[in-house]
Amino acid sequence: MTTQLLGTSFIGYSRSSGTEICGHGIQPGTCTVLEPAYMAATPDEVEKALSLAAAAFPAYSQLPGKTRAVFLRAIADGIEGVVEDIVERGQLETALPEPRLRGETGRTVCQLRMFAKQIEEGSWVDARIDRAQPDRKPLPKADHRAMLCPLGPVAVFCASNFPLAYSVAGGDTASALAAGCPVVVVAHSSHPGVAEIVANAVIAAAQANGMPEGVFSVLYGGGRKVGQAVVKHPVIQAVGFTGSRAGGTALMATANARPQPIPVYAEMSSVNPVVILPSALVRGEEALAEAFFGSLTLGVGQFCTNPGLVFLPVNTGEVFLAKLKSLIEAGSPSMMLNAGICKAFADATSSFATAAGVATLARSTTEAGSGQGAPMAFIVSVADFLKSEVLQGEMFGPATLIVRGSLEEIEAAIPHLEGQLTASIHSTVEELAAHPGLVPALQNRSGRLIFNGFPTGVEVCDSIVHGGPFPATSDGRSTSVGTMAIFRFTRPVTWQSFPDALLPAELQDANPLGIKRMES
């Protein structure tokens, strides 16, 4: 490996000298301790990182979009340059296979370049111009011009299940930097070495492109200690988080308790309901079961879009269930990301298996080894499902709950679901026409609707929404993936009666950037 791992935080362009060990990388399954030890950032180092971010904001936020775009592309190039190090260390820390790590690296650099293209073009600021009408009766109208402006320094918490795409230089960091906000990252204990490798690439890109020190820092020490201190600090103006509901709601409480409350964009819990109508089964029940099983077990079920809930009408789908049962029983246990996720999966599936009215449809016939998760499926009636708070929760692993009832019962149950990232429906156009309330009901509970497909696999593009009503996310009006993510870290500002020379270039009469504007 070419990157030398030091085990210390990045405080702007300096490395920390913390002396308290907060953890090591741990190899899943074997529990092998990986070197180096990682040192927690001290309170003084946290303060310095935040002070540097505050000092960097005025200069960084005023840089032209084209200049920030060069920076983002340099980060992408730098990450590609260390992909072999990422793959080597990532396999040790996460047990993710090489293709997954290479694919996630590709997604990460794609996000950075996508945001670079967005801010280079510049129309994302939503410039609006209402010119003065001094002769308007009965009162004259002043000149008003508005656009979106960066919020300020942003705290980003790395995710356990995505060591790249939702971590140090993932979507939250990319969108915040694109908006003009310095970023202070709180590294995750599951993949500290990968975090250090990526952080090195970001810092190198910042220095090579003359970015102000403090535009980016990475702190080790965990969410409860370092993370809480970062969120409480008055310098931070927004938070990006991907993780558990407990972690996300704790950060929300901290952010709301500040003298100046700030937004927390937390992606938390989702079971991603799949509704299968009888017409979809006619096309081939076994093929549908195979596609579902592939989605359920992809990445050992450790995706926030894992299909953990299926609505299947009674008196249908027996071939689907039989095929799914055979696939699950033949399915092999696989290594999960870390011991904590593995234990949580075991606890959740045990709770489901013993809940009132639940029967086990199938589980892998191969016993899971240390750190492994095995595929399984449970089955329950709509009535018993709605009675149980446990059954509406997330198992986060290769397990699903199949809920059976009449079509009328299923339609009536949808509005009682918690907020979801996705909702999938398998049907024909003709059958949906006979149930016109079903799609609107699913729309009200989710951020992405999928027709005749499955939720795993999030396309990084302009029109993607990766968000949803609580608890899928803390704020269902936003997305953590795609170019709309940039809006989370901005606020609108109006300039009234300003001389043209004092306006931002986006709002000047000559429109020197050539962006799209709303004008009247």
| Mean pLDDT, the chain, integer | 97
> 420 has which bridge partners?
446
Q: For the residues 284-308, what does the mean pLDDT come to?
A: 97
Closest CA to 494 of 125, 58, 135: 125
CATH 3.40.605.10 residue ranges in the chain?
10-132+140-268+475-507
> Do the Cβ atoms of 318 and 276 come closer than 8 Å?
no
pLDDT in tens, 11-50: 999 999 878 999 999 999 899 999 999 999 999 999 999 9
**10-132+140-268+475-507, which class in CATH?**
alpha beta
What are the catalytic residues?
267, 304
Helical axes 285-297 vs 318-330, angle rounded to 10°: 40
pLDDT in tens, 147-199: 999 999 999 999 999 999 999 999 999 999 999 999 999 999 999 999 999 99
**How much helix, strand and coil, in percent to the nearest 5, is found in the chain?**
40, 20, 35
On the question of pLDDT at 83 being above 90, the answer is: yes
> Distance (Å, rounded) from C-alpha 358 to C-alpha 355?
6
Work out the widest C-alpha separation in the chain, in whole angstroms. 82
pLDDT in tens, 250-283: 999 999 999 999 999 999 999 999 999 999 999 9
Q: What is the pLDDT of residue 361?
A: 98
Q: What is the pLDDT of residue 315?
A: 95
Q: What is the pLDDT of residue 471?
A: 96
pLDDT in tens, 214-259: 999 999 997 678 999 999 999 999 999 999 999 999 999 999 999 9
> Distance (Å, rounded) from C-alpha 230 to C-alpha 65?
27
> Distance (Å, rounded) from C-alpha 338 to C-alpha 29?
8
> Distance (Å, rounded) from C-alpha 450 to C-alpha 427?
11
In this structure, are strands 144-150 and 128-130 parallel, antiparallel, or unpaired? antiparallel
pLDDT confidence tier of residue 94, bands split at 50, 70 and 90: very high
* Run of H or E including 257: helix 245-257
Percentage of residues of the chain with pLDDT beyond 90: 98
Helical axes 65-81 vs 192-208, angle rounded to 10°: 140
354-368 residues labelled b (16+ CB within 10 A) or e (exposed): ebeebeebbbbeeeb
> Distance (Å, rounded) from C-alpha 175 to C-alpha 422?
22
Q: What is the pLDDT of residue 225?
A: 86
Q: What is the pLDDT of residue 491?
A: 98
CATH 3.40.309.10 residue ranges in the chain?
273-451
Q: What is the pLDDT of residue 223?
A: 64
- 319-408-304 Cα angle (round to 5): 65
pLDDT in tens, 107-136: 999 999 999 999 999 999 999 999 999 999
> Distance (Å, rounded) from C-alpha 325 to C-alpha 323?
5
> Do the Cβ atoms of 468 and 420 come closer than 8 Å?
yes
> 399 has which bridge partners?
376
Percentage of residues of the chain with pLDDT beyond 70: 100
Count other Cβ atoms within 10 Å, centred on residue 20. 12
**273-451, which class in CATH?**
alpha beta
Count other Cβ atoms within 10 Å, centred on residue 131. 12
Contacts of 249 (CB under 8 A, 6+ apart): 266, 268, 471, 474
DSSP code string of 82-115: THHHHHHHHHHHH---HHHHHHHHHHHHHHHHHH
